[in-house]
C-alpha cells in the first residue's frame, strides 16, 4: 500500500491528483510545512516537516514523500512518474519513446516553468502586484515564462496534449507547475492553446476532487 506524506496545500497535490485519477488506494499522512506553524517543535504541534518522525522518512524535511514496499521517493514529480510508469494505464508511458517524452516535459516543467510561475504566485499572494517592486518582479518572471510557453503553445496547437495525443502524467506534471502562473491571467491569455489545455486539465474530476480537499484545508 502506498503511503503519501503531505498536506493538500503543498506539492503533494501532484501525486494526490494522480492517485485520484487512477483510483488507487493510499494512506494519506497530512504532514504540514513547519514554516506554517507558530511553533513547529511544540509538544502539541501537528506532524510537520521538522518533526523527528517525519525527518526519518525524508531527511530533507520536505513534502511530499512516498513510501511503498521499502521504496522511498521524495520528489513530487519522481513520485508521479513512478506511479504512472508502474500502474498508470493510459496516463503512463506505453513504450520507451513515450517514457522519454514524459521525462522531457516533466523536466521542462521543473526547470523552465516552476520557479518563475511560483514567483508570480508568491509575489501576487503577498500583495506585491500592487507595488512597483512587486510588479517589476512579476514582469521579470513573466518574461522568463514566455519562451517555454510559446514552445508549449505551438506543441499543444498541433497535438492537443503533451504526449501521445491523450492526457498523461506529463500533462498533470506540467499543469501543476504552471498553475502558479494563473495568478497572472493576462500572461496565460497570451497563449490561447495553453489556456484551454490548462482549463481542460483542471476540469477533470480527479483534479476537482483534489482541489476541493485542498480548499477545505485551513490556509
Alpha-carbon dihedral 81, 18, 174, 67, rounded to 10 degrees: -50
- Kindly give, in sequence order, each residue whose CB lies less than 8 Å from that of residue 200, ignoring residues fewer than 6 positions away: none
CB of 110 to ligand GSH, least distance (A): 7
Cβ proximity to ligand GSH: between 36 and 159 the closer is: 36
First to last CA, the chain: 29
CB of 49 to ligand GSH, least distance (A): 5
Cβ proximity to ligand GSH: between 110 and 200 the closer is: 110
CB of 177 to ligand GSH, least distance (A): 9
CB of 4 to ligand GSH, least distance (A): 12
In contact, 183 and 189? CB cutoff 8 Å: no
What is the enclosing helix (H) or strand (E) of 136?
A: helix 132-159
In contact, 157 and 193? CB cutoff 8 Å: yes
Cβ proximity to ligand GSH: between 63 and 187 the closer is: 63
Residues contributing to the site for ligand GSH (CB under 6 A): 10-11, 33-35, 49, 61-64, 75-77
DSSP E strands in 6-73: the ranges are: 26-29, 65-68, 71-73
Cβ proximity to ligand GSH: between 156 and 178 the closer is: 178
Cβ proximity to ligand GSH: between 156 and 210 the closer is: 210
Q: How many helices (H) and strands (E) does the chain have?
A: 10, 4
CB of 10 to ligand GSH, least distance (A): 4
* Rg of the chain taking only CA atoms, in angstroms: 18
Amino acid at each position: 500500500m502506498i503511503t503519501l506524506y503531505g498536506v493538500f496545500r503543498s506539492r503533494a497535490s501532484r501525486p494526490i491528483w494522480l492517485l485520484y485519477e487512477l483510483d488507487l488506494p493510499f494512506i494519506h499522512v497530512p504532514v504540514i510545512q513547519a514554516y506554517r506553524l507558530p511553533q513547529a517543535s511544540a509538544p502539541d504541534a501537528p506532524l510537520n516537516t521538522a518533526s523527528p518522525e517525519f525527518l526519518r522518512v525524508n531527511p530533507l524535511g520536505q513534502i511530499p514523500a512516498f513510501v511503498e514496499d521499502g521504496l522511498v521517493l521524495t520528489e513530487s514529480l519522481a513520485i508521479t512518474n513512478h506511479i504512472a510508469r508502474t500502474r498508470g494505464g493510459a496516463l503512463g508511458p506505453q513504450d520507451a519513446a513515450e517514457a522519454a517524452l514524459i521525462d522531457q516535459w516533466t523536466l521542462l516543467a521543473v526547470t523552465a516553468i516552476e520557479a518563475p510561475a511560483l514567483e508570480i504566485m508568491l509575489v501576487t499572494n503577498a500583495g506585491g502586484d500592487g507595488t512597483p517592486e512587486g510588479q517589476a518582479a512579476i514582469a521579470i518572471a513573466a518574461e522568463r515564462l514566455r519562451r517555454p510557453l510559446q514552445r508549449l503553445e505551438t506543441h499543444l496547437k498541433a497535438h492537443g496534449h503533451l504526449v501521445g495525443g491523450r492526457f498523461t502524467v506529463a500533462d498533470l506534471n506540467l499543469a501543476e507547475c504552471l498553475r502558479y502562473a494563473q495568478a497572472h491571467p493576462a500572461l496565460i491569455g497570451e497563449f490561447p492553446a495553453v489556456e484551454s489545455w490548462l482549463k481542460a486539465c483542471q476540469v477533470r474530476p480527479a483534479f476537482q476532487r483534489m482541489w476541493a480537499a485542498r480548499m477545505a484545508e485551513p490556509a
